[in-house]
Every structure is written in C-alpha cells, then in structure tokens.
A and B are shown apart, each in its own frame.
Chain A
C-alpha cells in the first residue's frame, strides 16, 4: 500500500510540475503544437497509467491474501 501511495504521489506531482510548466510556456511549446493533440494524448496516458496502477494495486492485495491463506 505504501508503495502504491508513493508511486501515486510521484505520478501526481509530476503532473503538477508539467502544468506549472505549461502556464509559463509560450504558444510555441510542444503541448500547443499540432492542433493541441498532445493534450489529448497526455490525458489518455494519464488515465491509462492510473488504471494500470489501480489494477496492479488490486493484484498486490490479492497476492498478499493468497500468501496469508497458504500460511494458515
């Protein structure tokens, strides 16, 4: 759980840094080029990463329960 929280916080802070960056940047930066499609890509990658982290955390919880079950 601690590992999961840590990775989530790291991940979220990464996006705060990115968003601060975006406010300061001019119109010529990469996020605003190509019809701003990179914004959509960033959102989809965020959702995908979040979902995978969530599924992985459920996976870890199940593994722990299974190990406890074997010990009994």
Chain B
C-alpha cells in the first residue's frame, strides 16, 4: 500500500493486515509509556480543509505514538483561505518533505488529486461525500473485537446514505470482509445507482432490526430537511431513529454504533447512545489504534511490528 484513498479499492488481505496490526497497536495504549519509536524522523502532515477536531486529533495522537513529527496544517488562517490552490498547497508540503499527508477535504476525490502531486503517502481522512476509509476500518475493528468475527454478520447502516462517506466506506469494507450489509434510509437519501452496490436496501427499519447483528446509525444533518429530503425532524426520528423500543427489537447481543458526532434525539435516543450495547466511546479509542496501524503500514513498510 502506498496510499489509503478508499476502502472500495482495498483488498481483503490489506484490510485484514490493518486490523491485525491495529490489535498490536491497541496493546501500546495499555502501557504506561504509550509510544513506539517506529516513525522517528518521519513527518506526518494533517491537512484539514474541513473542521474536524475528532479525526484530526485521532490522527495526531496516532502519529505521535509512533514518534513521528506532526504538523497540523488547517485551511483556516492559512494561505489556503487566501485562494491558494490545492496543487500549490501540495507542492508546499512536498517541498517541506512530508512523508505522509492526512487529508480531509469537502470535495469528493480531493485526496486522489493530492496523491498525484506529492511523493509521500496520502491518507484520505474523509473526502466530501465519497469515502472515509479509516472510519470504516475502525468500525470493522470494533465489531471484530466485540463479536469476534466479521464474516457472516448482518450489518445494518441507517441514515443519510446519499451524503455519507462513512456509509460508502463501511459498505465496501464490510462486504469485502464477508459481512452482509443492509442499507436503510428514506428513499430520498438513497443514491440513484445504489442497486449496483454489494448491499441490500430497505426503507423499513423495523423489518430489518431483528435480523441485525450490528446497527450503525449515521448523523442526519438538519439542513437536509430544508432541502425537502424529508418533511420534519419528528417524522425522520419516528421512522428512522433508534430509540429504546427499537433497541429492544434487536437481538440481545447486537451492537449499536455511531461514527459521531451524534445528534441525540434525532437519529439516536440518548439512552440508546449511552447503553452498554453502544460502542460509541470504544470506536474513538479504536480509531487511534487503527490509524497507528495505517500510518505504520504506509510509512514503516511491511515488516512485522511484533
């Protein structure tokens, strides 16, 4: 692997290598000195064109635990906001000798362009409504840790499929790893062309819940309502929100996941988000391990860490 741009292009072997490496990285977090010397002298640039404190911090912690030098380059207050192009920014980073660029960008595909303009590795930390591969990897890691496997599990993804990079990345990765994926959303938030995805589509959450081993809730942005994707927040919550009654309809061992940030009371009720079945906090912790694994595999080569 030279770059991590999508999960659609990720092979099963590469995906499993990331998850297995992340298991080792997770043990580092349990040590009193949470640091490995692996990437000493390497430079990781966090290039964020969108605000995302959570993802940026997660990558920063991951890189620092591997002893890399981390530079945070955020679009706000930089030359980018003065109209500098993505290409010029890429050339600047190139001149500074970035070994890896972690890129978050509001435009789908921006990391693909970046990968053509820099010599270092590019990690897609979320591009527009396209993909968010490390989120999917950390979700798969979380499921595997909790339920012991991915193969054969039924995973239901609920929410704004049209605009969700998390949904796309999870759908590809989980299907590559042998899970059965069901997508649930109001028809207005299902993209035209979805029939070619390796997933089932349903408009009826209640019909799907009893058969789900994992239910992954996606954030629904309020502005979608004003664009007539659904009539009211209340109606969305009634039809597609996960509350205690719906949680009770799920198998007892089934997990509730959310990539955050959550809109409590909208797509997920507070008591569900805070229940023992919810993995929301674990997902954050696992995010660091998975991002360490990805940075290690892209920058450190293929030799075994253990």
The judgment on whether A and B are partners is no
Interface residues of B (CB under 8 A from A): none
